[in-house]
């Protein structure tokens, strides 16, 4: 297996650090528009012949395809933000490579009724090309980060092994992370790409219900307090647009599918202010003769998520709350989850916990594809594959496994 990682930001860099300890691939090309970032990721992975740094323009399918051909790439892993999904997706196809991503093609709200009806959904542009990928005998594994990704694997596991009937697949994510400045004062510093966070949180959230299919609500709707495990505790979660709701119903039978995220009052307040001021917009505006995207300006003035690890404390939790009827015929409520402590991920990988937790899942998936434990063609989500090999490899002790335990609580 010869892998091209497009994007050497926080998640791409963590991919290199994790993959450096595995032997299933021949070469991993770390590529970025900023070559120095790609070179830094190669250095963080220990260098050597297996890691190569390269320049790429993720907005140009031809640039992605040319780099993939140059290095005889078999698998392209997209680690840039969602606005570049289609160009990387199409570049991989043009080069004859399989494809993986951690976020899907962008949505566009319904023009007349954005808080009721869906418009263009997340991933629609990719699924529209599914027949081409299948006819070519090639695989595009979409949404294989942590969220989406691991929660989708949990959905498959719950359907196959824990439940005879599922009422709701409810992804619930939360954390107790705190970032401080040099003086020890708590600051606003998102642990993930603010560009992606704005896109997810200010778009109309999507819900799926059997008989109604997909529909939307207002941002931050249906708040609920959810208790997260391993000391994180109760966090208020709200509806957020996310890929799980667009993926799970395609392969897993459930009556309802939702995604809620524990944002917190401060974060929601900041997002609402950005929206009110128009700073969430992506279309460029002219400022003193220069065209700039307001959202790009916001991203530029905030700390880079890849750099905040040393100043961050706490844990992050990603998981799936499943309700319905167990295999014994009795009512069942189970939370399947994965917790990462920032102190642990920094000490062991030099990567902050949110980007590390996102990065480990595509590396596990790539290893399963390399060994043949997972295989397929077309555009497919993680829940379309057997969950057991993934969860066993993720939690199994090193060096055979990744030593990253997942948990399960009946409630």
DSSP 8-state symbol, 149: B
| pLDDT above 80: residue 195 | no
Question: What does the mean pLDDT of the chain come to?
Answer: 94
Could you tell me the CA-to-CA distances from 357 to 84, 172, 352 in Å, in that order?
22, 15, 9
**Angle, CA of 254, 383 and 211, to the nearest 5°:** 25
pLDDT at 305: 78
| pLDDT above 80: residue 200 | no
Could you tell me the CA-to-CA distances from 246 to 140, 330, 380, 384 in Å, in that order?
16, 28, 12, 13
- Band (123; pLDDT cuts 50, 70, 90): very high
Across the range 279-297, mean pLDDT stands at 87
pLDDT at 179: 87
Q: Residues 223-277: pLDDT tens digits?
A: 999 999 999 999 999 999 999 999 999 999 999 999 999 987 788 888 889 888 8
Across the range 300-304, mean pLDDT stands at 81
- What is the fold of 2-145+355-410? Rossmann fold (3.40.50)
pTM of the model: 0.93
Contact (Cβ atoms closer than 8 angstroms) between residue 247 and residue 143 = yes
pLDDT at 105: 97
pLDDT at 151: 98
Strand (E) positions, 193-300? 206-209, 213-216, 224-228, 233-239, 256-261, 285-287, 290-292
Across the range 85-93, mean pLDDT stands at 98
Q: Residues 1-27: pLDDT tens digits?
A: 999 999 999 999 999 999 999 999 999
Separation between Cα atoms, residue 276 and residue 219, nearest integer Å: 13
Separation between Cα atoms, residue 20 and residue 113, nearest integer Å: 48
- Residue 276: how many CB atoms within 10 A of its CB? 9
Q: Which CATH number fits domain 150-353: 3.30.360.10, 1.20.140.10, 3.40.640.10, 3.30.2350.10?
A: 3.30.360.10
pLDDT at 196: 76
Query: What residues does each domain of the chain span?
Result: 2-145+355-410, 150-353
**Which distant-in-sequence residues (6+ apart) come within 8 Å of 14 by Cβ?**
349, 351, 355, 356, 358, 359, 360
- Band (309; pLDDT cuts 50, 70, 90): confident
- Band (153; pLDDT cuts 50, 70, 90): very high
Q: 120-124, 145-149, 222-226, 295-299: which has the minimum mean pLDDT?
A: 295-299
DSSP 8-state symbol, 160: I
pLDDT at 167: 98
**199 vs 9, higher pLDDT:** 9
pLDDT at 283: 87
pLDDT at 266: 80
Could you tell me the CA-to-CA distances from 389 to 13, 88, 101, 336 in Å, in that order?
25, 28, 20, 16
> Would the CATH topology of 2-145+355-410 be identical to that of 150-353?
no
Query: Which H helix or E strand runs over 27?
Result: strand 27-32
Share of the chain above pLDDT 70, in %: 100
Contact (Cβ atoms closer than 8 angstroms) between residue 326 and residue 410 = no
Separation between Cα atoms, residue 51 and residue 212, nearest integer Å: 48
| pLDDT above 80: residue 107 | yes
């Amino acid at each position: 297996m010869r892998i091209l990682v497009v994007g050497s930001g926080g998640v791409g860099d963590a991919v290199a650090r994790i993959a450096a300890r595995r032997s299933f691939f021949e070469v991993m090309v770390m590529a970025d528009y900023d070559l120095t970032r790609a070179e830094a990721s190669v250095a963080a992975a220990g260098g050597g012949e297996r890691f190569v740094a390269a320049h790429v323009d993720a907005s140009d399918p031809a640039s992605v395809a040319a780099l993939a051909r140059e290095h005889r790439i078999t698998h392209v892993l997209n680690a840039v933000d969602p606005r570049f999904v289609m160009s990387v997706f199409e570049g991989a196809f043009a080069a004859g490579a399989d494809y993986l991503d951690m976020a899907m093609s962008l949505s566009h709200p319904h023009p007349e009724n954005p808080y009721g009806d869906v418009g263009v959904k997340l991933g629609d542009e990719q699924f529209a090309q599914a027949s081409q990928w299948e006819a070519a005998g090639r695989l595009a594994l979409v949404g294989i980060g942590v969220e989406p990704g691991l929660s989708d694997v949990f959905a498959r596991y719950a359907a196959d092994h824990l439940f005879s009937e599922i009422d709701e697949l409810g992804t619930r994510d939360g954390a107790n992370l705190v970032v401080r400045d040099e003086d020890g004062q708590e600051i606003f510093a998102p642990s993930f790409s603010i560009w992606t966070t704005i896109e997810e949180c200010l778009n109309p959230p999507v819900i799926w219900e059997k008989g109604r299919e997909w529909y939307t609500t207002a941002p931050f709707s249906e708040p609920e307090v959810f208790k997260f495990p391993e000391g994180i505790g109760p966090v208020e979660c709200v509806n957020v647009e996310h890929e799980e709701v667009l993926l799970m119903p395609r392969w897993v039978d459930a009556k309802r599918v939702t995604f809620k995220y524990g944002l917190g009052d401060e974060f929601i307040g900041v997002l609402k202010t950005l929206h009110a001021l128009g700073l969430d917009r992506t279309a460029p505006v002219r400022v003193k003769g220069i065209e700039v995207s307001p959202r790009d300006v916001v991203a530029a003035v905030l700390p880079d998520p890849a750099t905040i690890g040393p100043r961050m404390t706490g844990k992050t939790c990603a998981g799936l709350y499943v309700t319905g009827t167990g295999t014994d015929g009795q009512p069942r409520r189970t939370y399947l989850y994965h917790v990462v402590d920032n102190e642990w991920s920094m000490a062991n990988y030099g990567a902050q916990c949110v980007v590390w937790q996102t990065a480990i899942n595509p590396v596990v998936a790539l290893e399963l594809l390399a060994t043949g434990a997972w295989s397929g063609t077309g555009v497919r989500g993680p829940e379309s594959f057997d969950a057991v090999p993934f969860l066993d490899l993720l939690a199994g002790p090193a060096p055979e496994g990744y030593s990253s335990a997942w948990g399960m609580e009946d409630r």
